[in-house]
Chain A
Amino acid sequence: MSAAVPVLPVDSPPPDVAMAERVAADQSTRRPVLLFFHSAVAWLVIGSLFGLVASLKFQFPDWLTGQAALTFGRVRTVHLNAVAYGWAGMSLIGLAVWMIPRLVRAPLYRPGLAVAAAWGWNLWLVLGLGAVLLGYTDGLEWLEIPYPIDAVVVVAGGLMAISVLVTVARRKTKHFYVSVWYVLAAMVWFPIIFATANLPIFGGVEQAAVNWWYGHNALGLFITPLALAAAYYFIPKVLGRPIQSYSLSLVGFWALAFFYSLNGIHHLIGGPLPTWLITTSITASVMMVIPVAATAVNFHTTMVGRFGALKYSPSLRFVVAGSMIYTAVSLQGSVEALRGFNLVVHFTQYTVGHAHLGVYGFASLILFGALYFIVPRLVGWEWPSGRLIRWHFWLALAGVLIYVVSLAVGGWLEGRAMLDGGRPFMDAVNLTKPFLIGRSVGGALMLAANVIFAYHYWLAVRRRGRQRLEPAWTDRLSRPVIAGVLA
């Protein structure tokens, strides 16, 4: 590989000024970002533990049935909310808070607002999940937390949005980097969809439509843009090479903005809604191929010739794996929305596998990569163990793949059996049993990966282990020869 050649934007400030801006930006975000990350890691362990308990109940249906709080409906709900809003939500917001000041060359506006937002978000989850365990729920997928408690997160989210949006308004850059577009959009979209879906004015089939409009958009207009913002930041950053086609990255962003919001209604194919509404949603789901292809082609062409760097950077390895899975899960989603395919997999375990491929395989892997990059810079301490990072990566990847493949195959067979009028319903239930064991095995591996990560995270923030001058990951490797910043 040839030596790196600095290429600066024409309006770059002098080097010492630029360095001072970056240092000021990092100092302004340290406290809120660490609070978001500490909370997110705790929710990750709690949420995935509840997930494994829920999965094991398929093998041991009489286990933990003595207490209403530990029955499947409540345990599974706590799992979903803890990982989606606690782990993914809080870590993605922390990541956005860390990235934005760096990208707009301005310190975070009133970091105290972001700190208050983190505490508020935690309070919302503690109250909300406590209510769910006690049996109080709105009874809507992704919206189970009772809506009066949701007022807490509306305030917290508002504080967060003020801090980030004013920071962007005070930017010193002429342009928005593409990650800024994604973060800004998520900060605008999420409050709109969350507030709308929680309005207590919908009932019956209307409520179902709004529910799935929200549920799918929570993934596509909140988790997805923030995770893509991270991928667009870390892939070029670690490689020391800008994204191959910046224009194409903007095409991807705007195509997602225009096509995503109608996707959710495809969850109601076959339901009592107007056919045109369902068809519109299917069309929008298929149109998602455009932003997904734009993103995939861009990431791939940026990586071409540099895949060897995956050996040296855990951040890059996690982020690239997550980005590849983004392509896979998005195309899987487009196919899943087609009427013929949906006819088979609707109401089966297939959909559960798809959701986990999205939130864990795509978003969480990117998040892990981001945290491997950011945390040493926040705490001034390298990750203590390269071995733990390697275990984390392979357990997480193996876990999610075992989980998804088991449920994809099992779900397909389950759907075919349910469509066969000549077979009793219990056939469809019984044939999924071995695949549900695969679900628990995959879930156990993901939990193990998460616990290893949480332990390693605790070591790093407590500055435990021996002090290192270079990343632990490279223990057994020769010095890397890539242009970018290793982590």
Chain B
Amino acid sequence: MNPAAIYVLVICAGGALVAGVAFAWAALRGEFTDASEAAFLVFDEEDERCSPEQP
């Protein structure tokens, strides 16, 4: 096998491992369970806001 392929494969596999661990960590700490609450973190106290369903 071409060494270039091995380098890229190993690096990408390492990156995928990092991403996989991050994903598992996020899921285990409940990051994806109450997403509607997280959506409002973009607003600061002084901002007016409405719900997504509001026309």
Q: Are both chains from one complex?
A: yes
Q: Which residues of A contact B (CB under 8 A)?
A: 1-2, 4-11, 15, 18-19, 22, 102-103, 173-179, 188-189, 192, 196, 202, 205-206, 208-210, 213, 232-233, 236-237, 240-247, 250, 254, 257-258, 261-262, 265, 273-274, 276-277, 302, 305, 483-485
Q: Which residues of A contact B36 (CB under 8 A)?
A: 246
A237 touches B47 (CB 8 A): yes
- Would you call A206 and B7 a contact (CB within 8 A)? yes
> Which residues of chain A come closer than 8 Å to B34, judged between CB atoms?
175
**Residue in A6, A202, A242 whose beta carbon sits within 8 Å of that of B42 in the complex:** A242
* Known A102-B44, A177-B41, A179-B42; contact A210-B16, beta-carbon cutoff 8 A: no
Contacts of A273 in B (CB 8 A): 2, 4-5
CB-based contact A274/B54 at 8 Å: no
| Nearest B residue to A241, CB-CB | B50
* Residue pair A4, B44 in contact (C-beta under 8 Å): no
Interface positions, chain B 9-34, Cβ under 8 Å from A, are 9, 11-12, 15-16, 18-19, 23, 26, 31-32, 34
Q: Which residue of A lies closest to B48 (CB)?
A: A4
Interchain Cβ contacts under 8 Å between A and B, 11 examples: A15-B45, A18-B45, A176-B26, A192-B15, A206-B2, A240-B43, A240-B49, A242-B43, A250-B35, A254-B23, A274-B2
Provided the pairs A4-B49, A4-B50, A243-B52 are in contact, do residues A9 and B4 lie with their beta carbons within 8 angstroms? no
| Cβ-defined contact, A246 with B35, below 8 A | yes
Q: Which residues of A contact B7 (CB under 8 A)?
A: 202, 206, 209-210
Give every chain A residue within 8 A of B16 (Cβ-Cβ). 258, 261
Q: Quick one: given A4-B49, A261-B12, A274-B2, are A242 and B35 in contact (CB under 8 Å)?
A: no
Helix, strand, loop or mixed for chain A's interface? helix
A244 to B35 CA separation, bound complex (whole angstroms): 11
8 A-B pairs closest in CB distance: A206-B4, A175-B38, A246-B39, A18-B45, A242-B39, A4-B48, A177-B41, A246-B35
Q: How far is the CB of B5 from chain A (nearest CB, A)?
A: 5
A382 to B42, CA, bound (A): 22
Which listed residue (B18, B23, B40, B47) contacts A484, Cβ 8 A? B47
Bound: A177/B48 CA distance, A: 18
Residues B32 and A240 in contact, CB atoms below 8 Å apart: no
Distance to closest chain B CB from A355 (angstroms): 22
- Asked if A209 contacts B50 (CB within 8 A), the reply is no
Task: Contact check, B19 vs A176: say whether CB atoms are below 8 A apart.
Answer: no
The answer to whether A177 and B8 touch across the interface, beta carbons within 8 angstroms, is no
Contact status B8-A242, CB under 8 Å: no
Partner of B8, one of A11, A173, A209, A484: A209
Contact with B32, one of A102, A244, A250, A262 (Cβ below 8 angstroms): A250
A243 with B4: CB separation less than 8 A: no
Distance from B15 Cβ to chain A, minimum over Cβ atoms (Å): 5
> Complex: how many Å from CA A192 to CA B17?
13
Does B45 contact A22, Cβ atoms closer than 8 Å?
A: yes
Question: Would A247 and B41 count as touching, CB distance under 8 A?
Answer: no
- Tell whether A241 pairs with B54 under 8 Å between CB atoms, given A102-B44, A277-B5, A484-B48: yes
Name the distance in Å between A350's Cβ and chain B's nearest Cβ: 25
A442 to B32, CA, bound (A): 44
In the complex, besides A179-B42, A261-B16, A273-B5, 16 extra interface pairs with C-beta distance below 8 angstroms are A5-B49, A8-B40, A9-B38, A9-B41, A22-B44, A177-B39, A202-B7, A206-B2, A241-B52, A242-B40, A247-B35, A261-B12, A261-B15, A262-B8, A273-B4, A485-B46
Residues of A within 8 A of B39 (CB): 177, 236, 242-243, 246
B36 to chain A, nearest CB (A): 6
Q: A241: which B residues are within 8 A, CB to CB?
A: 49-52, 54
A240 partner residues in chain B, CB cutoff 8 A: 43, 47-50
Contact present for B41 and A173 (CB under 8 Å): yes
Q: Is the CB of A175 within 8 A of B31?
A: yes
Closest chain A residue, CB of each to CB of B2: A274
Give Cα A245 to B52, complex, Å.
8
A246 to B33: give the CA distance in the assembly, Å.
11
Closest CB in chain B relative to A168 CB, distance in Å: 13
Q: Chain B residues with Cβ under 8 A from A254's Cβ? A: 19, 23
Provide the bound-state CA to CA distance between A224 and B31, in Å.
23
Partner of B55, one of A1, A8, A244: A1
Q: Decide if A237 touches B43 in the complex (CB within 8 Å).
A: yes
Q: Could you say which residues of chain A place their CB within 8 Å of the CB of B31?
A: 175-176
* Min CB–CB distance B10 → chain A (angstroms): 10
Question: When chains A and B are docked, how far (Å) is the Cα of A461 from the Cα of B55?
Answer: 37
- Rounded to whole angstroms, the CA-CA distance of A174 and B7 in the bound complex is 38
Contacting residue for A483 out of B5, B23, B44, B48, CB 8 A: B48
Cα separation A206 to B11 with both chains bound (whole Å):
13
Q: Cβ of B41 and Cβ of A257 under 8 Å apart?
A: no
- Docked pose: A439 CA to B26 CA in angstroms: 45
